[in-house]
């Protein structure tokens, strides 16, 4: 009898050990135009995000985390490659109004770039991209040619391909008219929904898109529970126009924008539940963040930057400082006030996965492994802020210097580019809203930051602007 009990115990321990993987799975949840102040854990008073709050409490909440750019295409290029978009052509030029890719754009992320998916494939990972891509809609630039094994999503922004119905993409172009309809629908925009390289729905039903993205991730986790996997979930929302499914429409105190965020949060809960169900919650690392700040001209549809200045399209803090939550896989819980960036995600995943480091090109990201796992200080102490092909601002430690300032876009009114004779300087530890210029008190700080710019430019090989090539109808 005793021997039977011992055998049973040994078998039980064996089965438990079999369920615990010796690798880390990775999930990136990347929102479109969500601002620093749009989550309850980051101070929003009425938007309810219980699942993200749970991740924030159990994992690491970063308070000074930056996207690679203040607009969509270059930001996504930066995340997936760990390189500033100035290095791969996914950023516009001064004499070109295009800051992102469009449905008539000819190019996309260069084949020579190495993505997270391609690096993880080297050590046996399967990868899936769900959601917005925006790194080239032509076949050769889509996810399947960038290391991913499966793709389901909209290839560019959800406000593109507007139909000739009086509904435009922007403020002053009939945007608000669509919300005068009795029923919320997405038939004003002829955006395609792709599965792998094929269009399966056009126009995509965006009222259900958030739900379908989350369901696809859950399905993928079920099918790949015994595999190493990387999931890149890039939500199309809350980029305008806003849509929510019937289950969430009108449910938030914060209006339609709140509906959208709360439905995304619900999807996060579905993913967390499935990971736990499959016994993968302890060996899966989730990163939740945004591609840039809120699109402020759209008012209640554009989100909030909280206490930060300006929003999407600018190099002020509201343009690139974004929420960032790391959860799971041995992460030491806490609030991290050190600097971090979406540029750091690739080198972090590379180190944790055991993949070989990239040594044949300059990376602008740092591995955050020691901060995430051991609670050590962040290795990042600098951040360079580009708009198109010029450095607009640089952060060093607690200080940020602005050399050029400009508003987001030319609507609702034209914004002026101002090249400053004397840089502005702010201490972001005590002035995150960038209200009080202290440049006159700290010329030595400005000199140190100037040296950072000079060193950066010395090693910089400008890549041709690939966003300027468009085929006009």
Mark whether 325 and 448 lie in a shared domain: no
What mean pLDDT is predicted for residues 270-290? 98
* pLDDT tens column, 334-389: 999 999 999 999 999 999 999 999 999 999 999 999 999 999 999 999 999 999 99
Mention every residue, 6+ apart, whose C-beta is less than 8 A from residue 368: 326, 340, 344, 348, 378, 379, 380
134 is catalytic: yes
Say how many C-beta atoms besides its own lie within 10 A of residue 171's C-beta. 19
> Looking at the domain assignment, is residue 390 inside a domain?
yes
Could you say which of 319, 353, 380 is where a domain stops?
380
pTM: 0.95
Percent of the chain whose pLDDT exceeds 90 = 85
- Give backbone dihedrals phi and psi of 351, rounded to 5 degrees, phi first: -65, -45
Mark whether 248 and 396 lie in a shared domain: no
Mark whether 322 and 432 lie in a shared domain: no
The pair of structure tokens assigned to 319 is 């343009």
- The sheet with strand 418-427 has its strands ordered as 382-387, 390-396, 399-405, 418-427
What mean pLDDT is predicted for residues 169-197? 89
What mean pLDDT is predicted for residues 169-183? 83
- The sheet with strand 334-341 has its strands ordered as 198-201, 193-195, 150-153, 126-131, 229-234, 25-31, 284-290, 321-328, 60-66, 334-341
**pLDDT given for residue 97 in this prediction:** 66
**pLDDT given for residue 11 in this prediction:** 41
**pLDDT given for residue 473 in this prediction:** 56
- Give backbone dihedrals phi and psi of 211, rounded to 5 degrees, phi first: -60, -45
456 is catalytic: no
* pLDDT tens column, 75-123: 999 999 999 999 999 999 876 668 999 999 999 999 999 999 999 999 9
> Looking at the domain assignment, is residue 150 inside a domain?
yes
Mark whether 338 and 431 lie in a shared domain: no
Placement of tokens 């898109």 in the chain: 209
Closest CA to 193 of 207, 184, 211, 206: 206
Mark whether 390 and 347 lie in a shared domain: no
Instruction: Give the CATH number of the domain where residue 201 resides.
Output: 3.40.720.10
Burial of 172 (0-12, 13-18, 19+ CB in 10 A): exposed
Helix segments in 229-339, DSSP class H: 255-277, 317-320
Catalytic residue among 18, 44, 134, 137: 134
Q: ω before 238 within 30° of 0 (cis)?
A: yes
The parent domain of residue 436 ranges over 385-458
267 vs 181, more confident: 267
> Looking at the domain assignment, is residue 463 inside a domain?
no
Confidence of residue 32 (pLDDT cuts 50, 70, 90): very high
Confidence of residue 203 (pLDDT cuts 50, 70, 90): very high
Between CA 67 and CA 319 the distance in angstroms is: 9
Mark whether 322 and 246 lie in a shared domain: yes
> Looking at the domain assignment, is residue 11 inside a domain?
no
Confidence of residue 178 (pLDDT cuts 50, 70, 90): confident
**pLDDT given for residue 163 in this prediction:** 84
Mark whether 454 and 324 lie in a shared domain: no
Mark whether 263 and 171 lie in a shared domain: yes
Q: Tell me the β-bridge partners of 194.
A: 153, 199
Mark whether 33 and 96 lie in a shared domain: yes
> Looking at the domain assignment, is residue 6 inside a domain?
no
> Looking at the domain assignment, is residue 238 inside a domain?
yes
Count of domains forming the chain: 2
**pLDDT given for residue 265 in this prediction:** 98
What mean pLDDT is predicted for residues 48-69? 98
Mark whether 342 and 427 lie in a shared domain: no
Mark whether 138 and 243 lie in a shared domain: yes
Catalytic residue among 18, 23, 44, 72: 72
Instruction: Give the CATH number of the domain where residue 408 resides.
Output: 3.30.1120.10
Helix segments in 124-208, DSSP class H: none
Mark whether 368 and 438 lie in a shared domain: no
Between CA 434 and CA 260 the distance in angstroms is: 29
């Amino acid at each position: 009898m005793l021997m039977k009990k011992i055998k049973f115990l040994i078998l039980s321990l064996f089965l438990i050990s079999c369920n615990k993987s010796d690798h880390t799975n990775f999930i990136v949840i990347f929102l479109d135009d969500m601002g620093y102040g749009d989550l309850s854990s980051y101070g929003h008073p009425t938007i309810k995000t219980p699942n993200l709050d749970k991740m924030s409490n159990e994992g690491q909440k970063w308070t000074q985390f930056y996207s690679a750019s203040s607009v969509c295409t270059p930001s996504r290029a930066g995340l997936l490659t760990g390189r500033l978009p100035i290095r791969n052509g996914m950023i516009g030029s001064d004499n070109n109004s295009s800051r992102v890719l469009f449905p008539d754009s000819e190019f996309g992320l260069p084949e020579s770039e190495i993505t997270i998916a391609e690096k993880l494939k080297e050590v046996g990972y399967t990868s899936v991209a769900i959601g917005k891509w925006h790194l080239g809609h032509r076949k050769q630039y889509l996810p399947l040619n960038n290391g991913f094994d499966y793709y389901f999503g909209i290839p560019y922004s959800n406000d593109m391909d507007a139909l000739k119905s009086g509904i435009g993409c922007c403020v002053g172009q009939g945007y608000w008219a669509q919300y005068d309809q009795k029923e919320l629908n997405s038939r004003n925009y002829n955006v395609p929904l792709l599965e792998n390289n094929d269009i399966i729905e056009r126009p995509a039903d965006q009222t259900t898109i958030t739900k379908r993205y989350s369901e696809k991730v859950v399905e993928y986790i079920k099918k790949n529970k015994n595999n190493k996997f990387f999931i890149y979930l890039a939500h199309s929302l809350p980029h305008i126009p806003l849509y929510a499914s019937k289950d969430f429409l009108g449910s938030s105190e914060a209006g339609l924008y709140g509906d959208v965020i709360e439905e995304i949060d619900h999807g996060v809960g579905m993913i967390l539940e499935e990971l736990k169900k499959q016994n993968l919650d302890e060996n899966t690392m989730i990163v939740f963040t945004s591609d840039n700040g809120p699109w402020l001209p759209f008012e209640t549809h554009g989100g909030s930057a909280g206490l930060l200045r300006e929003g999407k399209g600018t190099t002020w803090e509201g343009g690139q400082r974004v929420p960032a939550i790391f959860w799971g896989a041995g992460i030491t819980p806490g609030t991290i006030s050190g600097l971090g960036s979406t540029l750091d995600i690739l080198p972090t995943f590379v180190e944790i996965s055991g993949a070989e480091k990239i040594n044949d090109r300059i990376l602008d990201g740092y591995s955050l492994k020691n901060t995430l796992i051991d609670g050590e200080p962040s290795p990042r102490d600098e951040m360079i802020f580009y708009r198109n092909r010029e450095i607009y601002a640089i952060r060093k430690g607690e200080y940020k210097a602005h050399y050029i300032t400009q508003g987001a876009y030319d609507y609702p009114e034209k914004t002026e580019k101002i090249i400053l004779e004397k840089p502005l300087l702010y201490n972001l530890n005590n002035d995150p809203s960038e209200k009080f210029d202290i440049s006159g008190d700290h010329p030595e700080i400005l000199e140190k930051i100037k040296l950072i710019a000079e060193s950066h430019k010395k090693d910089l090989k400008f890549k041709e602007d690939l966003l300027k090539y468009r085929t006009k109808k």
